[in-house]
Amino acid sequence: NMLEASSNLPWYKGWAVERKEGKADGKTLIDALDAILPPSRPTEKPLRLPLQDVYKIGGIGTVPVGRVETGVIKPGTVVTFAPCNLTTEVKSVEMHHEALEEAVPGDNVGFNVKNVSVKELRRGYVAGDSK
Q: Write out pLDDT tens, residues 90-110.
A: 999 999 999 999 999 999 999
Q: Is the dihedral of CA 124, 105, 71, 45 positive or negative?
A: negative
Q: How confident is the model at residue 120 (pLDDT cuts 50, 70, 90)?
A: very high
pTM for this predicted structure: 0.76
Q: According to CATH, where is 2.40.30.10 located in the chain?
A: 48-129
99, 96, 120, 91: which is closest to 108 by C-alpha? 96
Q: Write out pLDDT tens, residues 1-35.
A: 788 888 888 898 889 999 888 888 898 999 999 99
115, 88, 90, 86: which is closest to 101 by C-alpha? 90
Pick the CATH number of 48-129 from 3.40.50.150, 3.30.1300.10, 2.40.30.10, 1.10.1370.20: 2.40.30.10
Residue 73, Cβ neighbours under 10 Å: how many? 24
